[in-house]
Amino acid sequence: MISVLSSNISAIGYDAAAHHLYVRFHSGTTYRYSGVPSSIHSGLMNATSKDSYLTHCIKDRFPCSTSSLINVNHYDGWTV
């Protein structure tokens, strides 16, 4: 997970092999979006407003699961 500057998002991770995007919010909840192409991940990481990009380009467009228990702290396959 990469820490990011955002009013709502605290960190973002991406598993390129599985096409999973992980978004952790300041609340501690982590969302896993499935089937996310690397171009969308890159767009999110480069967006001026990560919250806005998430809302317009990711949310409700990719299957999502959420949990405060998703443990992604020690995953070695992140794409930066």
Tens of pLDDT, residues 8-58:
999 999 999 999 999 999 998 999 999 999 999 999 999 999 999 999 999
| pLDDT(76) > 90 | no
Tokens for 48? 């001026």
CA torsion 47-52-53-58 (nearest 10°) is: 160
CA 63/CA 36 separation, integer angstroms? 9
